Amino acid sequence: MKLSDRLSILNGIGEVQAKKFEGLGIKTLADLINYYPRKYDDYSHVVKIKDLRPGPVSLKVNIKNITARYARGRGLHITEAIASDNSGSVRVVWFNQPYRAKYFKSGQIYFLSGKYELKNNHFTITNPTVEVVSDLPTNTARILAVYPETKGLDSSQIRKAMAQTLPVMNTIPESLPDFTIKDQKLLNRSQSIRALHMPTSTEELDEAKRRLGFEEVFEFSLASLLNKQDNQTETALSIEFKQELARQFAESLPFKLTDSQRIAVWKIYQDMQKPVPMNRLVEGDVGSGKTVVAVMAALMVMADHKQVALMAPTEILARQHAVTIYALLQPLGLENKLTLLVGSLTKQQKTSAYKAIREGKATFIIGTHALIQEDLDMHNLALVIVDEQHRFGVNQRLTLAAKAGHTPHILSLSATPIPRSLALTLYGELDITRLDEKPAGRSDVITQIVYSSGVKDLYVKIDKEIDSGRQVFIVCPAINQSDLIQVKSSKEVFDSFSSGVFKHRKVDLLHGQMKSDLKQAVMESFIAGKIDILVATTVIEVGVDIPNASIMVVMSPERFGLAQLHQLRGRIGRGSHQGYFYMLLDNSEAPMRRLRALERYSDGFKLAELDLEFRGPGAIYGTYQHGALDLRIANLTDKKLINAAVSAAQQFIERQEQLSKYAILSRKINKLRTVTNLN
Ligand code: ADP
Ligand code: MG
């Protein structure tokens, strides 16, 4: 038996079963071993029948008086039996398992595990698992792993297959360096995997999870650190720091920089003076003033006669940036150095932009991500600024480096705060600066959960805001009605608003399945104030600036994650008007912790930490736009574990360990190094 064997070599797995396993992505023994339990049921304590208490129980019993019948009215096969030990007996029932009737031999002792509960006035054990007594039971009298199941394939069948892989599990080689295992007193890999599927005690299970969680974080962290190390061996254009220019710019602003903006700018200047590429992430809530920081970075590059490119995720955002940045550069007479390069330019505009860039007349180029694919002469490109959402991956950096002959400094701006433990694990290759201060005079968006009973008042409020010239966002989670869950779709809401309560207003619709030029047209007419109420899906999530929008109503807010709701909230209250954020819940739905957290906190960093706490162990952080982060065991709220694993990864590098000496680890790390950078 070996890891690459097909599942069908196991007993009891024919073609039909194998297909079902395939449905879960399991084809080989390795896939099976890699299929992790979702939770555990503790059936390890075998009790006497006289001591039975309602709940999950395990017994050691004879099984007698077996009867089987078909209850036509209920369409059920019912198999009943009496289970007894020397202290008493109890009734056992199985539904739709007619084969049970022939299974039992008299005189045989069985382990029986199931739920003891009151059914039709009788205490009964319903649908228990049963096995002949042994030292190593699979489906009874132990801590039982519960797996994600599928139709016709339940956890007891998965456990039966899993138990047969024991011989290969026992040969799984170690992947962690010796020193980590010794320092942290970790179980070895093979023991841990076995214990994860077939724990012999809760202590053993905890140790197995600690080991496997450590491994996950160690690997992510090591991959990040190695990326960082590589980055340090590349060369960048060093940028001279001109203090007078920075001072002049700061004085031209209509406001005072916050301390955190000042610190961020200072760090960036220090980074860029070195001939080593900067790779810095500035994170700060929406409105924390990232644009000014970026422009100050760009300023030094322009003054040094080199080029800077700012990449935004959408054309609308690129255009908005161009307008804002033009105004910021004007007092210094640098606005003519700016050029916008987006898909919708005419051929003529494009040609002249290219010319300006080539001749060095334009040194600040603003566009979308497509910028780096353009056939542009970027040999003088010293700094790339990436706005919102996407990290700039190694691959993109290499594309540019290949073009320019050097690696640009990278400054990423993000409004999605990353909890510290996550940043440590995953973003190890980045230097992170937080803008954790709100610019003065900014008031919090008023945030409230509204029940359907309060909808009328809400509509009145919306009308009032529109009367005083404001605009409104209505956000819906899905575009069409789902069969399973009644979710108010954007189309439905749009129809009912535009022909009902708000038929006297200009209502429009924006969703992801619209053609992109239509989307852009709708967005632009909203920006221009031609629409009162915009019903939209989360396509509006990314950094659009509509200072005149003061109210946002989120339908079915329970369908959104905390980070996402916070992002949405950031779209409003950006002007001088008070912002309102309403989460509309049906009366029947209990408000969840995360909605309450939003009512209570406006600080994105605080909310990010809470989000992590609420999701608990094993959460997959899709919200961080990071498909690669698949921590299946590690709990990122376990600070001790995270710190130990991260510092072990640092030690690995400090000790100048050769990754190539660790065959398995190096394979895993190399895979992570490419995916963690493909964003
Ligand atoms: P972000 O990109 O971080 O969401 P912006 O850079 O768009 O935020 O800034 C939001 C608004 O705050 C802009 O109108 C900007 O001019 C203003 N702003 C930036 N820094 C300050 C500051 N220190 N004091 C007051 N207003 C500021
Ligand atoms: Mg911004």
**Mind listing the pLDDT tens digit for each residue in 447-474?**
999 998 899 999 999 999 999 999 999 9
Confidence (pLDDT) at 622: 38
Distance (Å) from CA 544 to ligand 1 centroid:
13
Q: Is 286 in the pocket of ligand 1 (CB under 6 A)?
A: yes
Q: For ligand 1, atom 17, which residue shows the shortest CA distance?
A: 289
Of the two residues 164 and 107, the one the predictor is more confident about is 164
Distance (Å) from CA 543 to ligand 2 centroid:
6
Residue range 527-544: mean pLDDT, rounded: 81
Q: Is 257 in the pocket of ligand 1 (CB under 6 A)?
A: yes
- Pocket probe mutation, ligand 1, options 249, 281, 285, 288, max atoms within 8 Å of Cβ: 288
Distance (Å) from CA 320 to ligand 2 centroid:
10
Distance (Å) from CA 82 to ligand 1 centroid:
74
Q: What is the pTM of this model?
A: 0.76
Ligand nearest to the CA of 312: 2
Residue range 24-35: mean pLDDT, rounded: 95
Q: What is the pLDDT of residues 608-632, one digit of tens each?
A: 888 877 775 444 333 343 444 567 8
Q: For ligand 1, atom 9, which residue shows the shortest CA distance?
A: 289
Question: Which structure tokens are listed for 329?
Answer: 């550069």
Residue 574's pLDDT band, with cuts at 50, 70 and 90, is confident
Question: Which structure tokens are listed for 359?
Answer: 């001749």
Residue 132 is given by DSSP the state E
Q: Is 260 in the pocket of ligand 1 (CB under 6 A)?
A: no
- DSSP string of 645-675, one letter each residue: HHHHHHHHHHTT--GGG-HHHHHHHHHHHHH
CA nearest 625: which of 559, 556, 678? Answer: 678
**Alpha helix stretches (DSSP H) within 359-452:** 394-404, 420-426
Distance (Å) from CA 316 to ligand 2 centroid:
12
Confidence (pLDDT) at 608: 84
The total number of residues written for the chain in this structure: 679
Q: Is 290 in the pocket of ligand 1 (CB under 6 A)?
A: yes
Instruction: Check pLDDT > 70 for residue 487.
Output: no
Residue 360's pLDDT band, with cuts at 50, 70 and 90, is confident
Residues 250 and 292: their CA atoms lie apart, in Å, by: 9
Residue 369's pLDDT band, with cuts at 50, 70 and 90, is confident
Q: What is the mean pLDDT of the chain?
A: 88
Distance (Å) from CA 548 to ligand 1 centroid:
16
Q: For ligand 1, atom 11, which residue shows the shortest CA distance?
A: 287
Q: Is 414 in the pocket of ligand 1 (CB under 6 A)?
A: no
Percentage of residues in the chain having pLDDT higher than 90: 61
- Pocket probe mutation, ligand 1, options 251, 255, 442, 574, max atoms within 8 Å of Cβ: 255
Residue 678's pLDDT band, with cuts at 50, 70 and 90, is very low
Residue 588's pLDDT band, with cuts at 50, 70 and 90, is low
CA angle 334, 248, 239 (to 5 degrees): 70
Q: Position 57: which residue type?
A: V
Q: Is 217 in the pocket of ligand 1 (CB under 6 A)?
A: no
Residues 472 and 290: their CA atoms lie apart, in Å, by: 25
CA nearest 426: which of 237, 619, 223, 261? Answer: 223
Q: Which helix (H) or strand (E) holds 533?
A: strand 533-536
Ligand nearest to the CA of 387: 2
Q: Which helix (H) or strand (E) holds 464?
A: helix 455-467
- Pocket probe mutation, ligand 1, options 281, 291, 577, max atoms within 8 Å of Cβ: 291
3-state percent helix, strand, coil for the chain, nearest multiple of 5: 45, 20, 35
Q: What is the pLDDT of residues 49-106, one digit of tens each?
A: 999 999 999 999 999 999 999 988 888 999 999 999 999 999 999 998 888 888 899 8
Q: What is the pLDDT of residues 299-311, one digit of tens each?
A: 999 999 999 999 8
Distance (Å) from CA 290 to ligand 1 centroid:
7
Which ligand 1 atom minimizes the distance to the CA of 292? Answer: 6
Residue 275's pLDDT band, with cuts at 50, 70 and 90, is very high
Distance (Å) from CA 296 to ligand 1 centroid:
13
Distance (Å) from CA 294 to ligand 2 centroid:
10
Residue range 219-227: mean pLDDT, rounded: 90
Q: Which helix (H) or strand (E) holds 427?
A: none
Residues 158 and 432: their CA atoms lie apart, in Å, by: 44
Question: Which structure tokens are listed for 370?
Answer: 């497509």
Q: Are 312 and 367 in contact (CB under 8 A)?
A: yes
Q: What is the pLDDT of residues 128-143, one digit of tens each?
A: 999 999 988 999 999 9
Helix, strand or coil, per DSSP, at residue 551: strand
Which ligand 1 atom minimizes the distance to the CA of 291? Answer: 6
Question: Which structure tokens are listed for 223?
Answer: 């991959």
Q: Is 416 in the pocket of ligand 1 (CB under 6 A)?
A: no
Residue range 176-200: mean pLDDT, rounded: 96
Q: Are 573 and 445 in contact (CB under 8 A)?
A: yes
Residues 53 and 255: their CA atoms lie apart, in Å, by: 69
CA angle 434, 637, 628 (to 5 degrees): 75
Confidence (pLDDT) at 376: 75
Q: For ligand 1, atom 23, which residue shows the shortest CA distance?
A: 257
Q: What is the pLDDT of residues 398-443, one digit of tens each?
A: 777 777 788 899 999 988 777 877 777 777 888 999 998 888 877 8
Backbone angles phi, psi at 22, to 5 degrees: -60, -35
Residues 366 and 322: their CA atoms lie apart, in Å, by: 7
Question: Which structure tokens are listed for 278?
Answer: 């900067």
Residue range 280-286: mean pLDDT, rounded: 89
Residue with tokens 């002959």: 405
Helix, strand or coil, per DSSP, at residue 43: coil
Non-local (6+) Cβ contacts of 242 within 8 A are 300, 303
Q: Is 289 in the pocket of ligand 1 (CB under 6 A)?
A: yes
Distance (Å) from CA 122 to ligand 1 centroid:
68
Residue 479's pLDDT band, with cuts at 50, 70 and 90, is low
Q: Which helix (H) or strand (E) holds 61?
A: strand 55-71
Of the two residues 653 and 419, the one the predictor is more confident about is 653
Q: Helix/strand/coil (H, E, C) string of 603-644?
A: CHHHHHHHHHHHHCCCCCCHHHCCCCCCCCCCCCCCHHHHHH
CA angle 617, 622, 623 (to 5 degrees): 100
- Strands 55-71 and 76-85, bridge-based pairing: antiparallel
Residue range 368-392: mean pLDDT, rounded: 77
Distance (Å) from CA 386 to ligand 2 centroid:
10
- Report how far apart, in Å, the C-alpha atoms of 256 and of each of 248, 261, 292 are: 12, 10, 11
Q: Is 334 in the pocket of ligand 1 (CB under 6 A)?
A: no
Q: Is 291 in the pocket of ligand 1 (CB under 6 A)?
A: yes
* Count of CB atoms situated within 10 Å of the CB of 251: 9
Of the two residues 401 and 122, the one the predictor is more confident about is 122
Residues 425 and 627: their CA atoms lie apart, in Å, by: 15
Q: Is 259 in the pocket of ligand 1 (CB under 6 A)?
A: no
Confidence (pLDDT) at 517: 84
**Domains of the chain in sequence order:** 43-144 (2.40.50.140), 243-435 (3.40.50.300), 446-601 (3.40.50.300)
